Copies of this chain bind each other. A is one copy, B any other.
Amino acid sequence: MQLSNTSKYAIRILSYIAKNEDKKLQNAKELSEILEIPYKFLTKIMTDLVNKEFILSIRGREGGYKLARSASTISVLDILNAFNELTHFSECILGSQTCDPQKKCILHDQWAKPRTLIKQMFAETTLEKIEGEDFKT
């Protein structure tokens, strides 16, 4: 019942870059140190973020990363979906294949409200809205 490390890292990376857009480019070495994410794992995630078009990369000396689009257009839900974190989120919480309103699973009604609230929260929270300060592990 928690997010994958990859998703947690991705959210923290994007948030940090969004909050420091003035600095123009961020590089992997610094991101790794500041966010306390293993360098090699971070670069793997950065490549994902580039491929998924959250991030633009500039290669070579003096290169680095920056947001590919405005922070206000990137929600936490977008990030989680890109990393397939919520693929089964709308399905039965107990994994029942046959769970539907006619034949409800045993947590069907109870789970409905929390699920809606979580999804709304992820959808409404954009990188722009984020106001926290802590980006470390």
Contacts and interface: CB of A to CB of B under 8 A. Distances in A.
B134 A106 contact: yes
A2 to B, nearest CB: 6
Interface in A111-127: 111, 113-114, 117-118, 121, 125
A104 interface: yes
Given A8-B94, A113-B117, A1 B86 contact: yes
Contacts of A105: 132, 134
A21 to B, nearest CB: 15
A134 B99 contact: yes
**Dominant secondary structure of chain A at its interface with chain B:** loop
How many copies of this chain does one complex carry?
Answer: 2
Interface residues of A, number: 44
Nearest to A132: B106
A95 interface: yes
A108 B96 contact: no
Interface of A: 1-3, 5, 8, 11-12, 15, 76, 80, 85-86, 88-89, 93-99, 103-111, 113-114, 117-118, 121, 125, 130-137
